[in-house]
Amino acid sequence: MRSILLALAAGLLLGACGWHTGLGVPAGARTVSIEFAANETRLPDLEVDLTDALYRALLDRLDLAVVSYDEADLVLDARLVDLRRRGGVRDEDARLLEGGVILGVEVDLRDRRSGEVLETSRRRLSSGYVVGPGLSPATAPGEPLARTRVLHNLADGVVLDLFAPTNGNGAVPTGDGRPGATGYEREIDPLPPTNQGG
């Protein structure tokens, strides 16, 4: 009982003291607009889901008011640039049991007043799902859920990329003293480095 009370008190204190995620906002910016995402894939209406996921990620992580374009200090311009399906596990009769979906996005954070692009995030992520007997990956009921998972994870990562605090030279501290460049593409299951030494 005592530990529950301590945890509750700690939560109240953190909320009362203005604790936040530590994400930075450009000086003077108080508002942001999320432009309706562009969809360069062949799957219609995916841009609606990306726009919604970005909206939720911004509300969850930043103290910026989401407003219309004309009232915004900052603007997010998002594009869906990649949608692929991948095969996965097959049974002994070569029937597909598991599939996957891969989505790629590019998002610019722009100062609406000057038009300057402040940061860019490029991300690609995948998620697997069960296909089920007699179904193709495109018609499997698990694919829409996998797409939703990917879009929400991409949106969270994009917001972290665009608003991560920098160490003064445009690099995001990695925690171990090595700076990591901002705006680079991140992939789930990246290819391992090649052995150059032989």
CATH 3.30.160.150 fits 24-165+180-187, yes or no: yes
Distance CA(39)–CA(21), nearest Å, equals 30
> Which of these, 157, 160, 181, lies nearest to 170 by C-alpha position?
181
**The pLDDT of residue 96:** 86
Contacts of 176 (CB under 8 A, 6+ apart): none
When pLDDT is averaged across residues 124-143 and rounded to a whole number, the result is 87
Domain residues of the chain, as ranges?
A: 24-165+180-187
At residue 122, what are phi and psi to the nearest 5 degrees?
-125, 120
Per residue in 65-103, pLDDT (tens digit) is 999 999 999 999 999 999 999 888 888 988 888 999 999
The model's pTM is 0.73
End-to-end CA distance of the chain: 60
Comparing 187 with 124, the larger pLDDT belongs to: 124
Confidence label for 179 from pLDDT (cuts 50, 70 and 90): very low
